[in-house]
Amino acid sequence: MAITDYNAVVAQRVDVASGLMILRVVPSGWALPPFKAGQYTVLGLMGTARRAPFTDPEEPPADPAKLIRRAYSIASSSVEDEYVEFYVTLVRSGALTPRLFSLGPGDALWLSPKVVGMFTLDQVPEGHNILLIATGTGIAPYMSMLRTHLSEIHQARVAVVHGARHSWDLGYHAELQTMRRLCPRFAYVPIVSDPEEESVPWKGRTGFIHENLNGGDARESLGFRPDPSDTHVFLCGNPLMIEGMLKLLSEQGFAEHAKGRPGQVHLEKYW
């Protein structure tokens, strides 16, 4: 693949915090396919693309003739057809993210014309509560779900639990707080795991997600008590959080959803 084969361009980049950015990408002269909120696509850059400063040197160097491709959840609404938005964290030793972090508006990249994935609200029966749990950039598919569907959900309750090390790493915080104010059926629970590092004392919840969702605490913060009979739970991000939550949820009678074996817990593992 030649660099001239790049088929998309960066329209906007917002740096949320050091090593965390929101990237809006526009296809160059082709239309995005229809997709469902929660699905993912693939971004790519050539091995020759520049790595951002303050990232680790690459050993061995990437093959200059190859396109480095990685999957990214779409954060924008599925009714938005002009751009796709991504929420990306920098892996300093990684192959693609140090290159993505050297991009700015107007820079070209490769965007897969296919959007795929089963991590959608398709399996949630009408009227069931939806609990969306994420660490870090795992909030991305939920932003797409909320931006697409929140105004259509009238009978059930929806809650987002978002864990990050610091308050400044809580991407989309302002938008989620606005959704909470505008939608009485929606709860937003941001959780900071390293509150001692905050320069302004953090008044919200602290610690790990599973500690905050154990026992009576859950009903108070979510606005409902998650029960397998009327709640579907989505888990996205850090594999340790996913394992911890799966254990807690299975003790409460929840089962992981799989093809041919319906359950109430849906997973998207980033690594």
Ligand X SMILES: Cc1cc2nc3c(=O)[nH]c(=O)nc-3n(C[C@H](O)[C@H](O)[C@H](O)COP(=O)(O)OP(=O)(O)OC[C@H]3O[C@@H](n4cnc5c(N)ncnc54)[C@H](O)[C@@H]3O)c2cc1C
Q: Which residues bind ligand X (CB under 6 A)?
A: 40, 70-73, 86-89, 91, 94-97, 136-137, 140, 268, 270-271
Shortest distance (Å) from residue 145 CB to ligand X: 13
Output 63 or 220, the one with its CB closest to ligand X. Answer: 63
CB 12 within 8 A of CB 105: yes
Output 96 or 222, the one with its CB closest to ligand X. Answer: 96
Residue number of the CB closest to ligand X reads 94
Angle between helices 140-149 and 173-182 (to 10 degrees): 30
Find residue 189's DSSP bridge partners: 161
Output 88 or 222, the one with its CB closest to ligand X. Answer: 88
Decide: helix, strand or coil at residue 189.
strand
Shortest distance (Å) from residue 89 CB to ligand X: 4
Output 112 or 250, the one with its CB closest to ligand X. Answer: 112
Closest CA to 20 of 207, 172, 242, 161: 172
Shortest distance (Å) from residue 200 CB to ligand X: 25
For residue 198, the tally of other CB atoms under 10 A from its CB is 14
CB 42 within 8 A of CB 106: no
Nearby residues of 31 by Cβ (< 8 Å), 6 or more positions away: 81
Shortest distance (Å) from residue 28 CB to ligand X: 22
Closest CA to 238 of 208, 200, 207: 208
Shortest distance (Å) from residue 116 CB to ligand X: 9
Amino acid found at 76: S
Output 218 or 241, the one with its CB closest to ligand X. Answer: 241
Shortest distance (Å) from residue 88 CB to ligand X: 4
For residue 215, is it left (φ>0), alpha (ψ between -120 and 50) or beta?
Answer: left
Output 76 or 129, the one with its CB closest to ligand X. Answer: 76
